Amino acid sequence: MNAFFTNPALLVFLGGGCGSLARYAVGQFLPASALGQPFPLAILLVNIVAGFVLSFMAGFGLARAGTEPIRLLVGVGFCGGLSTFSSFSNDTLTLLQTDRVGAALLNITLNVLLCLVASAGGLWLGQRI
């Protein structure tokens, strides 16, 4: 059983599947609009959460001995499956193609700034625990 939990590819696979399912679930429960207009709120939220979790793990010091399986499962797998730059890019392009330049710029700004703030907060918290 121990070999099962130390197989790097399996850990990334399991974490990635869970992260992808979580992203799907958020998309099902979060409205796809803001102020009556389509806006990719779910992708924004999952990107913020993934940035926080990954930076928290870095701040917590997951480079310590024995933590590689956790890094692979949660950091590489789950956070990789949860966050999505391709959906962010596609959503932004769709906003631009439908002449919603302001919404596209807002999406870019919110994703970059809020993900950076979440990452900084995760790092800060992880370093203090």
Looking at this protein, which amino acid is placed at residue 89? Answer: S
Task: List the chain pLDDT tens, one digit each, 129 residues.
Answer: 466 667 999 999 999 999 999 999 999 998 777 667 788 999 999 999 999 999 998 888 765 666 888 889 999 999 999 998 999 999 999 999 999 999 999 999 999 999 999 999 999 999 888
92 CB-contact burial (10 Å; exposed 0-12 / middle 13-18 / buried 19+): buried
CA distance 103 to 86: 17
In 3D space, the residue among 35, 29, 40 whose CA is nearest the CA of residue 85 turns out to be: 40
CA distance 95 to 86: 14
CA count, 13 A, side-chain hemisphere, 44: 22
